[in-house]
Structure 1
Amino acid sequence: MITLIQAAILGFLQGITELFPISSLGHSVILPTLFGWNIDQSSPAFLGLLVATHLATAIVLFLFFIKDWIRVFRGFGRSIRDRKIGPDDIYAKLAWLLVAATIPAGIVGLLLEKPLRSLFASPLIAAAFLVFNGLILLTAERLRRHPNRAQTGRVSVDAVASGRPIPAGSANTQMSETERSDTTIAKLTWKQAFGIGVAQTAALLPGISRSGSTMVGGLLSGLNHETAARFSFLLATPIIGAAAALKLPGLFSPQMADQSGAFLVGALCSAVAAWLATKFLLRFFETRTLTPFAIYCIVAGTVFFVVLLAFP
């Protein structure tokens, strides 16, 4: 049985660490052991709580970027109707970039999620991978390409809101930050988007961050930190949502009836934390880098590893 306090802590933890590039799965594996909680992490109750918190995070991300998703859906519809992506239709391009980046994680997740998690889901291994996650973030900061410049043009806010294609134009463009970010992301090639999706599959290992790996892929593809984070959050919505939805029926099984309160508390705490984390990180990455999170992962992972080794 998972108590309401434990559910609240784990929910808040998941909402923060899913979006911060510090691995939600790694922390979910490590911290209950450090806290001395008598929780079987392979039990239906614990897995059900993870499903509830992840679903809450996906819903929050969708609502946070609802304007973007409306434009993306309209762009996707235009591309299907016209059987092509217009040269200036950034939201049709963005829709298919998200599809391309989702494919690798979707395939690998369906085929290898259970074997990988059963093989590596120990607190000690998760702590080691957390250190490795920090090293990946540091390496990406050293290797990242110069960020692309947002394309400029005569774009009206009304045109973007209506979902119409955005034409290229002169340098005297009045564009919102959201429009500039989406225009920059739409410059990614199909190969780059697929590569970001491949990078995302590393998050199947506990201790490797999904948001961190996708941001690394974005930075190495020429995005800046803010646009890499934005693409990572957009990409997280279908991945996290689909993974949680596949396991959603288990939450309503008769065996889980006694844990429904814990699932609800965990989901609500995760939702609040995810909303605050998304808002904070988008502002943070306007001027900051992944380095603070890399240092945290290396230090925390090392401390966790030593403690777990000394007190098994």
Structure 2
Amino acid sequence: MVSYVQAVILGLLQGFSELFPISSLGHSVLIPALLGWNLDQSSDAFLSFLVLTHLSTALVLLGFFWRDWVAIVSGVLRSLAERQIKKEDTYARIGWLIIVSTIPAGILGILFEQRLKDLFSAADIIAGALILNGIALYGVEWLRSHATTEGAYDDRKLADMSWGKSILIGVAQCLALIPGFSRTGMTIAGGLVTGLSHDNAARYSFLLATPIIFAAAVLKVPDLFANGAVGLAPAVVGAVCSGVSAYLSVRFLLKYFETRTLTPFAIYCVVAGCLAMAVLKL
């Protein structure tokens, strides 16, 4: 059982670490392990708790970008009615690009669900993954500094992405199925590799987060009711805290990535992963 204090801490932690490129799943497993909390982190109940906090984050993203989602859904429906995706239909293309990017992680998540769940009890492996996450973010920034990228935020630039580039971002997102790798970090990194600017890559990452998180919630939130209402109240408290934290985070990050890079987060992940591994070995 997750206590109310633990629910508040984990909820606040998830809300900002899901959107910051530092791995929410990694921190949600490492923090309880480092603090000595007696939680079965591989249980369906704990995973459902995490999914509910993720659902709260998805709802915040949906609310924050609701105008964009109205345009995207309308565009997709319009393309279905017309049986074609017109190049000049910006939001129809963005919608289908998001769908294509979502497919790889959706397939792998279903195929390897149990194996991935087992990693939630392997804090040392997750600490190592967090280090690799930081190295990957730094490596992408280094590569980008030696390449030419397009300019500032523009939905037309997102719509002009090729299907191959959207698949590449989707494959990058697959790494985040491993706790310790950040979904936001990997999708922004994938966007940078394809030539997007930081703010365009961040925007696409936040839009891409909504369907994959909702899909996970549809599969796992019902588990909260498997044993009646046991554990539901702390999960709701955690979800509320996660929503507040996520709202503040997305406002900050959209502004941050207008002029700044992933490098500070890369350094944090490497340092935090090394410290966590050292403490766990004691």
Q: TM-score range by the shorter chain?
A: over 0.9
3-state SS in 2 of match to 1:247: helix
Q: Which residue of 2 aligns with 1:143?
A: 143
Verify the 8 A CA contact 1:148 1:222 in the aligned structure 2: yes
Match of 1:300 among 272, 277, 280: 272
Query: By how many angstroms is 1:115 displaced?
Result: 0.9
Identity of matched residues, %: 54
C-alpha distance after superposition, 1:273-306 (max 9, x if no partner): 1111111100000010000000000111101110
Rounded Cα–Cα distance in structure 2 between residues aligned with 1:55 and 1:88: 33
Q: Which has the larger radius of gyration?
A: 1
Partner of 2:174: 201
Distance in 2 separating the partners of 1:46 and 1:103: 26
Partner of 1:89: 89
How far did 1:120 drift?
Answer: 6.6
**Partners of 2:113 and 2:187 in 1: how far apart?**
18
User: Contact (CA 8 Å) 1:121, 1:206: kept in 2 or not?
Assistant: no
Matching residue of 1:169? none
The aligned length equals 280
Alpha-carbon RMSD across the aligned residues, in angstroms, is 1.3
Equivalent positions of 1:85-164 (< 5 A) are 85-119=85-119, 121-144=121-144, 145-149=147-151
Deviation per residue, 1:57-102 (Å, 9 max, x gap): 1111111110000000111111111111222111111111011101
Q: Deviations over 1:209-243 (max 9, x none)?
A: 11100011000000010110000000000001111
C-alpha separation in 2, matches of 1:100 and 1:203: 17
1:69 aligns with 2:38: no
CA–CA distance in 2 between the matches of 1:65 and 1:139?
A: 30
Q: Report the Cα distance in structure 2 between the residues aligned to 1:246 and 1:232, rounded to whole angstroms.
A: 22
What does residue range 246-257 of structure 1 map to in structure 2 within 5 Å? Answer: 246-253=219-226, 255-257=227-229
Contact 1:120–1:205 (CA<8 Å) still a contact in 2? Answer: no
Contact 1:15 1:272 survives alignment (8 Å)? yes
Q: Which runs of 5+ in 1 are unaligned?
A: 151-179
Q: Distance in 2 between matches of 1:37 and 1:256?
A: 24
1:245 match: 218
The yes-or-no answer on 1:35 pairing with 2:31 is no
Matched, 1:259 2:261: no
- Relative to structure 1, the CA distance from residue 184 to residue 121 in structure 2 (aligned partners, 3 Å threshold; closer, same or farther) is farther
Q: Is the 8 A contact 2:45 2:223 kept in 1?
A: no
1: distance between equivalents of 2:82 and 2:105? 28
Deviation at 1:119, TM superposition (A): 4.5
Distance 2:255 2:183 in 1: 19
Q: 1:149 to 1:287 in 2, by over 3 A?
A: closer
1:297 & 1:29 partners in 2: Cα distance? 15
- 2 CA distance for matches of 1:98 and 1:63? 18
Shift of 1:149: 3.7
Contact 1:113/1:204, CA 8 A, preserved across alignment: no
Q: 2:204 aligns with which of 223, 231, 243?
A: 231
Closer, same or farther: CA 226–75 of 1 in aligned 2, 3 Å = same
Runs ≥4 residues deviating over 4 A: none
Matches within 5 A, 1:153-232: 180-232=153-205
Pairing 1:282–2:227 present: no
Give SS of 2:195's match: coil
Q: Which amino acid aligns with 2:221?
A: L
Distance in 1 between the 2:22 and 2:113 partners? 19
Rounded to whole Å, the distance in 2 between the matches of 1:121 and 1:237 is 26
Q: Tell me if the contact between 2:130 and 2:181 (Cα under 8 Å) persists in the aligned partners.
A: yes
Q: Output the CA distance in 2 between the equivalents of 1:267 and 1:75.
A: 31
Shift of 1:256: 4.9
In structure 2, relative to structure 1, the CA distance for the partners of 1:137 and 1:41 (3 Å cut) is: same
Change (3 A) 1:117 1:250: closer
Any gaps of 5 or more consecutive residues in structure 2?
Answer: none
